[in-house]
């Protein structure tokens, strides 16, 4: 009798163990999918924030802080200043700014990287701010940034009147040099 009760208890303990293992595996899978969805949402929000700070606020400090170390070497201070100067020169951007793009993951869950394109509409032209972002150790960072726009056409100069052909005066004949006479003597 005692032996039968011990065998039943061991069998029930094994079933409980399998239920716990299945719950842990299910929780881990749920966590991975949940983290992936959060990363996609956060990547899009970060791309919108960078676009807002660059295209509307012209915030060079924000851009500098959120550039990856490789991008800080690639995009020197002078390049970033010129980027913001070009954005300012385009005028005031129409709100809201539409940001398109998607996020890719290595191994389906890890190392998210986003490619985004923000369409900027200005009074005289349109432009696109292209961003490549990635998740650093703790924060999102900009790996690549580029502003693409078509400059406003330069106005063609007004047609100048065609010069009228005026008759040129007839040249006077060239005087002949006087010849010297030899003296006799």
pLDDT, tens only, 104-137: 998 888 899 999 999 999 988 899 999 999 998 8
Question: Which range among 28-32, 85-89, 104-108, 145-149 shows the weakest confidence by mean pLDDT?
Answer: 104-108
CA distance 116 to 143: 12
Domain spans of the chain, in order of start: 2-149
What are phi and psi for residue 125, nearest 5 degrees?
A: -160, 175
Can you list the alpha helix ranges (DSSP code H) found in the chain? 2-55, 60-66, 69-74, 77-90
Beta bridge partners of 135: 140
Which residues are registered as beta bridge partners of 103?
114
Summarize the chain as % helix, strand, coil (round to 5). 45, 25, 35
Q: What is the dihedral of CA 149, 153, 154, 157, to 10 degrees?
A: 170
127 bridge partner residues: 120, 149
CATH class of the 2-149 domain in this structure: alpha beta
Confidence of residue 151 (pLDDT cuts 50, 70, 90): confident
Task: Identify whether the C-beta of residue 111 lies closer than 8 Å to the C-beta of residue 134.
Answer: yes
pTM (whole model) above 0.85: no
- Cβ pair 46, 132 in contact under 8 A: no
Question: Strand 110-121's sheet: what is its strand order?
Answer: 98-106, 110-121, 126-135, 140-149
pLDDT tens sequence across 6-47: 555 555 678 888 999 999 999 999 999 999 899 999 999 999
For residue 164, what are its two tokens? 């009228």
Kindly state the tokens that stand for 184.
């006799």
Query: Counting Cβ atoms within 10 Å, is residue 129 exposed (0-12), middle (13-18) or buried (19+)?
Result: buried
Task: Considering only residues 2 and 88, tell me which one the structure prediction assigns the higher pLDDT.
Answer: 88
């Amino acid at each position: 009798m005692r032996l039968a009760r011990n065998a039943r208890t061991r069998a029930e303990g094994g079933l409980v163990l399998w239920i716990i293992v299945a719950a842990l595996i299910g929780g881990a899978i749920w966590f991975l999918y949940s983290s992936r969805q959060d990363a996609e949402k956060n990547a899009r929000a970060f791309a919108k924030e960078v676009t807002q700070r660059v295209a509307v606020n012209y915030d060079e400090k924000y851009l500098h802080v959120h550039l990856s170390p490789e991008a800080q070497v690639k995009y020197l201070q002078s390049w970033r200043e010129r980027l913001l100067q070009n954005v300012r020169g385009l005028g005031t951007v129409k709100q809201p700014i539409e940001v398109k793009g998607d996020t890719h993951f290595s191994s389906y869950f890890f190392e998210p990287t986003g490619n985004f394109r923000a369409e900027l509409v200005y009074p005289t032209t349109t432009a696109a701010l292209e961003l490549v972002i990635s998740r650093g150790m703790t924060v999102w960072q900009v790996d690549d940034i580029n502003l693409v726009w078509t400059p406003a056409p330069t106005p063609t100069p007004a047609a100048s009147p065609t010069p009228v052909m005026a008759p040129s005066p007839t040249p006077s004949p060239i005087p002949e040099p006087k010849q010297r006479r030899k003296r006799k003597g």
